[in-house]
Amino acid sequence: MSMIVETAIVREIDAETIGSPTATGRLLLDSDDTGGALSTVRMTLAEGADGAAPHHHATSTELFYILQGKARILFGGEIVTLQEGDVAAVPPLTPHAFAAAPGHTADLLIVVAPGIQRFAYFRLLDRLRRGEATLEELLASQDLYDNHFLDSPAWTRDRQAS
């Protein structure tokens, strides 16, 4: 069992920030910061912006807490809208994705437990967005970062309707 072995503190001002004009991630605590207990990131999405494509994690639960705004979340085959103060947890192997709801921004705290070393993955996504990495590199890394991309017709329809 993973457990936090010493206090881990990251101040907002010190958090590494990555992202695009429509999505900003603040890398807060990675798995190695917490003895494998959890990893956490804060995502701020512009109006209607995508956060993550459909994927699942083999061994970790992912928790979404809506700090501000509204987000659309895919859970398996269901898509729900969460708003400020709502929280949802997605168990291992369950397909999920998230985006700001149409007409809304979203600010989310995302916690994965047990933790997954994912900051290198987020940096790879940022490099891909800037044209400094390839999709093949990203796909080759999905086992390393326990981020398995999936097809979701329901999510595709929902995002096209946005």
Structural domains counted in the chain: 1
Residue 3: band (very low, low, confident or very high) from pLDDT cuts 50, 70, 90? low
Distances (CA, A) of 104 to 16, 67, 146: 25, 13, 29
Domain assignment of residue 159, yes or no = no
Domain assignment of residue 85, yes or no = yes
CATH code at position 113: 2.60.120.10
Distances (CA, A) of 2 to 5, 36, 117: 9, 5, 13
Q: Please state, in angstroms and rounded to a whole number, the distance separating the CA atoms of residues 67 and 55.
A: 22
Domain containing 147 equals 12-151
| Digit-coded pLDDT (tens) for 39-82 | 999 999 999 899 988 888 999 999 999 999 999 999 988 999 99
Domain assignment of residue 72, yes or no = yes
| Digit-coded pLDDT (tens) for 90-135 | 999 999 999 999 999 999 999 999 998 889 888 988 998 899 999 8
| CB hemisphere CA count around 156 (13 angstroms) | 4
Domain assignment of residue 138, yes or no = yes
Report the pLDDT value the prediction gives residue 1, as an integer from 0 to 100. Answer: 56
Domain assignment of residue 127, yes or no = yes
Domain assignment of residue 5, yes or no = no
Entry pTM = 0.89
Domain assignment of residue 157, yes or no = no
Q: Which residue has the tokens 């369950």?
A: 94
Nearest one of 28, 13, 23 to 106, comparing CA atoms: 23
What tokens does 78 get?
A: 């269901």
For residue 141, give the amino acid letter: S
Strand partners, 26: 17, 42
